[in-house]
Amino acid sequence: MRRWLLSVPVAAALLASAACGNGGMSAPDYGPAEAVICPNDLPSSCPVPTPSYASDVQPIIAQRCVICHESGGLEVAPFDLGTYSDVFTDRSAVLDQVYACAMPRVDSAGALPLTESERTTLLGWLVCGAPQN
Ligand code: HEC
């Protein structure tokens, strides 16, 4: 009597498990290298102490904005920012422009971007509702 020892190869199926999550992640897209890096630094609430228009804000605007935003300025911009009521009237456009790093417009006439502390002062004051303080 012959015994057939049958070796039955069992194919062990190695199932590649479904990709475990991170397989498809790619590097974040930072955009073109020359893109201006504008900080995402809008205060979420009115800072304490509130920057003062008279002693903190007005000197910045006078030095950094009014050079263009007045008749006869470096570039004649559409409205004046020379008085408190000018700035207050346009406060929401001013906030947008400063936050987006669009103003002061950096140009060949010599205007430069705001420093970090000028930016912090202006944005903080605007978030407080642009008080006449
Ligand atoms: C180099 C000149 C220059 C400087 C400095 C400058 N501006 Fe302007 N600004 C302009 C001109 C020109 C326009 C109109 C054309 C444009 O929007 O580019 C303008 C437009 C604006 C507008 C209206 C934008 C809109 O379309 O609603 C706001 C708000 C503004 N400026 C705020 C500011 C503030 C705040 C500063 C200072 C922190 C400032 N600008 C400094 C030249 C300047």
Q: What is the CA radius of gyration of the chain?
A: 30
| Domain that residue 68 falls in | 53-127
**How high is the pLDDT of residue 106?**
81
Residues of the chain with pLDDT under 70: 1-36, 73-74
**How high is the pLDDT of residue 111?**
81
> What is the spatial distance between Cα 9 and Cα 99, in angstroms, rounded to a whole number?
70
110 CA: nearest ligand 1 atom: 1
Q: Best mutation site among 60, 65, 95, 114 for ligand 1, i.e. most ligand atoms within 8 A of its Cβ?
A: 65
Tell me if 63 is assigned to some domain. yes
Task: Please state the domain count of the chain.
Answer: 1
pTM beyond 0.85: no
Tell me if 42 is assigned to some domain. no
Q: Do 121 and 50 contact (CB within 8 A), yes or no?
A: no
**How high is the pLDDT of residue 37?**
80
> What is the spatial distance between Cα 17 and Cα 20, in angstroms, rounded to a whole number?
8
Tell me if 109 is assigned to some domain. yes
CA separation (Å) from 81 to 2, 66, 103, 106? 107, 6, 12, 17
Tell me if 20 is assigned to some domain. no
Tell me if 24 is assigned to some domain. no
**How high is the pLDDT of residue 36?**
56
Tell me if 74 is assigned to some domain. yes
H/E stretch holding 121 reads helix 116-127
Q: Ligand 1 mean position to 65 CA, how many Å?
A: 7
